[in-house]
Structure 1
């Protein structure tokens, strides 16, 4: 009996998290669609979700064998001082594997602690075995691919990778 309740609990948790993702699959297209060959037949779009915590999502549409578009959530971007702004999306190999790279920024204003300017984060996504896009952990956890352009606690900060060309140069140098 305990096993049944554990199974039911896990099933409910799994379904509630996937049900929550449905919120991020719908919304007004703010950029895109962008055709990509990272995933065969794929198109990427950024949506304004209407969610207060994660107002922007990246979705992948792929035409299936049944000629219907199948949409999946790639990622969602949270509020960090301001709503996220998509600065750039481009396609570039990372360690020889095709990737989708996204540069996101947020305006930060906390003048009381001397922090203001623009916060940047580079996100990378690669194709998974099931023909979806998943987070590229090499990009995500590279501490050089996030930073501030402005002032942080009164100290001047410069983020060197504020466009696709500079990000590509960094990736090439890291090979």
Structure 2
């Protein structure tokens, strides 16, 4: 019985140390960007080893580090690297745009998707819009997120070509200006 407990203890320690060390290798893939309302604060996007949510939107304010959002793999292909797998997705652009008098942060995420049986080969785009609340909390703008024009597919699907209009910051800014900032 003592031998079994010893083996379980060793296995538990190995699993715990693997978990701890796997999260220390997270890489900033976009940013950091300074935040004026938070002294030495900044936000950035980091690639993690989480296969379901491989990119995290992080806010650091003082000594506090907070995950604002996590971007789901949502059907993206996987790339095999020498020591691990990685979803084939990334940040295409991060930019600010005013809607009315409020400054919004926009993030364009692109996921490469291939499914031969369904005839799918291309890129899935999603535009995320964030606003700063009166309490300086960065949060998704739920009204903008309901806009179906800000997500789409570019490529081939079921033998037909599909095109998405808003793949770049310039295209999204033009759309926001014409749709939400009409005078």
TMscore range, shorter length: 0.7 to 0.9
Aligned ranges for residues 1-175 of structure 1 at < 5 Å?
Answer: 27-37=26-36, 40-41=38-39, 42-63=41-62, 69-80=63-74, 81-82=76-77, 83=87, 84-175=89-180
Instruction: Report 1 or 2 for greater relative contact order, CA contacts < 8 Å, sequence distance ≥ 6.
Output: 1
**2:14 matched to which residue of 1?**
none
Change (3 A) 1:149 1:40: same
* Residue 103 (structure 1) shift: 0.3
1:129 and 1:101 mapped to 2: Cα distance? 18
Per the normalisation by structure 2, the TM-score is 0.73
1:62 and 1:92 mapped to 2: Cα distance? 22
* Residue 40 (structure 1) shift: 4.4
Find the residue that maps to 1:125 and give its secondary structure. Answer: strand
* Residue 138 (structure 1) shift: 2.1
Find the residue that maps to 1:59 and give its secondary structure. Answer: strand
* Residue 129 (structure 1) shift: 3.0
Question: What 5-or-longer segments of structure 1 have no aligned partner?
Answer: 1-22, 64-68
Which of the two has higher C-alpha Rg? 2
* Residue 159 (structure 1) shift: 0.4
CA-to-partner distance for each residue in 1:102-151, whole Å, 9 max, x for gaps? Answer: 00000010122111101100001111232120001122111000000101
Moved more, 141-150 or 110-119: 110-119
Q: List, as ranges, runs of 4+ consecutive aligned residues in structure 1 with deviation greater than 3 Å.
A: 39-42
Question: What 5-or-longer segments of structure 2 have no aligned partner?
Answer: 1-21, 78-86
RMSD over aligned Cα atoms: 2.2
Find the residue that maps to 2:124 and give its secondary structure. Answer: strand
Per the normalisation by structure 1, the TM-score is 0.76
1:144 and 1:92 mapped to 2: Cα distance? 17
